[in-house]
Amino acid sequence: MYDFDLFTIGGGSGGVRASRMATQFGAKVALAEERYLGGTCVNLGCIPKKLFVYASEFSDAFADARGFGWTVGERSFNWQTLIANKNREIARLNGVYEKVLVDNGVRILRARATLADAHTVVARGERYTARYILVATGGWPSTPELPGRELAITSNEAFFLPRSPARAIVVGGGYIGVEFAGIFHGLGAKVSLVHRGELFLRGFDNDLRRELAAEMRKREIELRFTRRVERIEKLADGVRATLDDGAVLEADLVMFATGRTPNTRDLGLEQAGVTLDAEGAVAVDSYSRSSVANIYAVGDCTDRLQLTPVAIAEGAAVAETLFGGSPKAPEYENVPTAVFSQPNLGTVGLTEAQARERFRAIDVYKSTFRPLKHTVSGRDERAFMKLVVDRETDRVLGCHMIGADAGEIIQGLAIALRCGATKAQFDATVSVHPTAAEEFVTMRNKS
């Protein structure tokens, strides 16, 4: 009756996972991608950004080496080498995604696809019918309306700059803004971060936000909170940004990291009857089904958690629901996440504020200390850890950390929270010594 059982629009993490799993359940599947396989994460997000973070951390390593007896000689950084090696790795991953799809029998269409109706997709001028359609088109950086906005870049362009900036203005207080402020600083730039809120990283635990701001200021990253850029002007040797308080900042570049918009424009969704919210996100139910019964959506084109592992989980759930005989709704409780700031930030579970709203009484444990490494390196950097506990059941509700490898550490703690671990069980766990992570099982004093 249909050309395909499932037609996926978008070759990012969520779309690829759903398509691959659907074929394993016996479905006939096609996937259309107009840009590059792997989506934002592989090409313009998590992967290249983490590679940039690694590159920027060497400046700290060189500085810290002296305290451990190393003499580090003349050194230099070549931006073009980093870009070339990053591009090579991304190309390899693009090939991995293609192989996964081909090996599982998914038909790949390298083209933009749009909906003609609820069961018909148009790509490369051809019409294809499908029993189910999955929209997995991700998001795209958005920039504020202001004079000179065309002179600024977004994270998309940051991965392909011809040279590393000596002066950078980062506008925005989310993951991307905070991480790129650290990246540019680590690569030698003088950095100003401008954010309209009183603190960056809205939605994270307030102690984490304050502690990270303090650590970034120690690194001489200028933080201008409660400020907006009003206009940008071109200079002979860069750009000038004027803020709403009249302050003027000059730099080699201004980078907007002011949010992402669902990439749903001109896909034909409205004509097919799919309801979009005010931001253009596909409105879905708990099973990722849109207002049209046979059209589903996952990932950043919906208004849920914009994290790659979440999109993958959503895609897997759609495949199981439609073809696996086991309807499954994604779970959004206790999703761990990390911000690859410098130092790193990791978190899982409820913030203190969220816990106070949901539970009658909670206990909070905090620890801040100088990591062993920096007792010798001489770096003025503090690690911070925090546990939020339900007083009535003793269950750990949230784990939060700032410090080296926070993301690696939080992943393990996410398993504990998933299993409903109690503070007593944390306390009874033998620590790995000497590590920073052991602090999570040795905290005894309530704050």
DSSP 302: B
Helix (H) or strand (E) holding 312: helix 308-323
Pairing assessment for the beta strands 153-154 and 253-256 based on DSSP bridges: parallel
Identify the CATH class of 4-141+261-323.
alpha beta
The 396-402 sheet, strands edge to edge: 337-339, 345-349, 396-402, 383-390, 362-369
- Give ranges for CATH 3.50.50.60 in the chain: 4-141+261-323, 149-258
Identify the CATH class of 337-441.
alpha beta
Catalytic residues: 433
**Those residues with Cβ within 8 angstroms of residue 299's Cβ, 6 or more apart along the chain or in another chain:** 10, 12, 13, 14, 15, 39, 136, 137, 138, 306, 310, 311, 314, 315
Going by C-alpha positions, the residue among 95, 123, 103, 131 that lies closest to residue 7 is 131
Compute the average pLDDT of residues 333-355: 97
Return the pLDDT at 342.
Answer: 96
- Assigned CATH for 149-258: 3.50.50.60
Going by C-alpha positions, the residue among 1, 2, 13, 49 that lies closest to residue 318 is 13
Q: Per residue in 8-33, pLDDT tens? A: 999 999 999 999 999 999 999 999 99
Between CA 270 and CA 394 the distance in angstroms is 48
Task: Give percent of the chain above pLDDT 90.
Answer: 99
Return the pLDDT at 195.
Answer: 98
Between CA 269 and CA 132 the distance in angstroms is 14
- Give ranges for CATH 3.30.390.30 in the chain: 337-441
Q: Per residue in 68-124, pLDDT tens? A: 999 999 999 999 999 999 999 999 999 999 999 999 999 999 999 999 999 999 999
Q: Per residue in 262-317, pLDDT tens? A: 999 999 999 999 999 999 999 999 999 999 999 999 999 999 999 999 999 999 99
Pairing assessment for the beta strands 190-195 and 222-225 based on DSSP bridges: parallel
Helix (H) or strand (E) holding 176: helix 175-186
pLDDT band at 394; cut points 50, 70, 90: very high
Per-residue tokens: 243? 């803020």
**Those residues with Cβ within 8 angstroms of residue 103's Cβ, 6 or more apart along the chain or in another chain:** none
Return the pLDDT at 83.
Answer: 98
